[in-house]
Chains A and B, each alone.
Chain A
Amino acid sequence: MSNNHELDEATEHTMSQLRTHLDSEPSHELKKRLQDSRMAALDSLDKKPLFSVPSLMPALGVTAALALGVGIAWNALQESPNLQNYSVSTDELEIEEVLFLAESEFTQEDFQILLADDENPDLDFFSWASAQPEFME
């Protein structure tokens, strides 16, 4: 019997079959390009700014930015402490998308299509936004 941290044998077997079909190694050229990307990312560490304009504007809230809908607010929001803490969660992208759409004057139907997924097929923008603490501040 499997312990709590292992998968059952049948699941592992199916996983192994799946890996056979899908887990192909990228070509040498692609690996080289990945390596180049890595080097470029590491080089960016030397150019990391000590501070940025957005860091001087931490008080700017999401609601205000939605109302303003201007580029500087967009940048500030992405760097704000609230979103910093939020920035690697799944919802970060949804916030970015919503901000993008708010600026783009899309309809609620567009929001719905964008935000809906298999687990929340009926999710609409307003109920989603109202559940986000950042939108309520």
Chain B
Amino acid sequence: MSLDLKKQSLNRFLAEVETSAFKISRCMLRDEEAALDVVQDAMFKFVQKYSDKPHAEWKALFFRIVQNKTKDVLRKRKLKNKIFGWFGSEEYEELLSQKSDFGNNPEMILSAEQMQTELQISMQALPNKQQEVLHLRLFEQMKLESIAQTMEISIGSVKTHLSRAMQKLKPLLNEHSQETV
């Protein structure tokens, strides 16, 4: 394939997946700038190292890179918070206090933004595999087979992870829908 054709093909592919990749990273990091950086890094890595792979494998490879790079940012944050703990985790503590306030005031109606924050915190509390499966289904609307291919796990495991994640998040969603009725 000529370089121009290859670039056209890559351009079409990346245009299709970039928004959902951004949404996944944004949801995990809760930071748009950091998510943009992750997607950019992932695009460079994909183009440089994996664009010679068969087209059928591109999607799984790209989302695996995005997830790995996002987790890399999370790990670095975690370490930074450990080293600079006295001020590094201020934002997280603030969000945690908001979470407990919601719990102490069941009559309080959550704004859409608060609900989003609450859900993101709850999603971050899920085990890693559950989070990864959930993000791919939620934002990329991947089929179960594709998720299984991306994560290198069985379809049965994908279903189990999704089902468990939903069971954990459902009470929060139900609580919100009752409050807003």
Given A22-B120, A25-B19: A37 in contact with B43 (beta carbons within 8 A): yes
The CB with the most chain B CB atoms within 10 A, among A22, A45, A110, A119, is that of A22
Determine if B149 is an interface residue (Cβ-Cβ < 8 Å): no
Q: Flag if A19 contacts B173 (CB, 8 Å).
A: no
19 new A-B pairs (CB below 8 Å) besides A41-B14, A117-B127? A4-B155, A5-B144, A7-B159, A14-B170, A18-B166, A18-B169, A18-B173, A31-B19, A35-B18, A38-B18, A41-B46, A42-B11, A44-B44, A45-B6, A45-B47, A93-B72, A97-B75, A113-B79, A114-B78
Bound CA–CA A38/B72 (angstroms): 21
Is A105's beta carbon under 8 Å from chain B? no
Known: A11-B166, A15-B166. A21 touches B40 (CB 8 A): no
Given the complex of chains A and B, what is the CA–CA distance between A92 and B72 in angstroms? 10
* Number of residues on chain B facing chain A (CB within 8 A): 63
Q: Quick check: is B145 within 8 A (CB to CB) of the other chain?
A: yes
Residue B97 at the A interface, CB < 8 A?
A: no
In the complex, which residues 43-61 of chain B have their Cβ closer than 8 Å to any Cβ of chain A?
A: 43-44, 46-51, 61
B159 touches A22 (CB 8 A): no
Q: B3–A37 contact, CB under 8 A?
A: no
User: A92 touches which one: B27, B68, B78, B139 (CB < 8 A)?
Assistant: B68
Closest CB in chain A relative to B153 CB, distance in Å = 11
CB pair A41 B119 closer than 8 Å = no
The complex places the Cα of A114 from the Cα of B166 at a distance, in Å, of 27
B contact residues around A45 at 8 Å (CB): 3, 6-7, 10, 47-48, 51
Partner of B48, one of A6, A44, A96, A110: A44
**Shortest distance in angstroms between B76's beta carbon and chain A's nearest beta carbon?**
8
With a cutoff of 8 Å between Cβ atoms, the chain B residues found around residue A22 in the complex are 27, 116, 119-120, 138
- In the complex, B177 has a CB within 8 A of chain A: yes
Find out whether the CB atom of A6 lies under 8 angstroms from the CB atom of B18.
no
Evaluate whether A96 and B19 lie within 8 angstroms (CB atoms) in the complex, with A18-B119, A18-B138 already known.
Answer: no
Residues of B close to A4: CB separation below 8 A:
155
Expressed in whole angstroms, the Cα–Cα distance for A101 and B117 within the complex equals 32
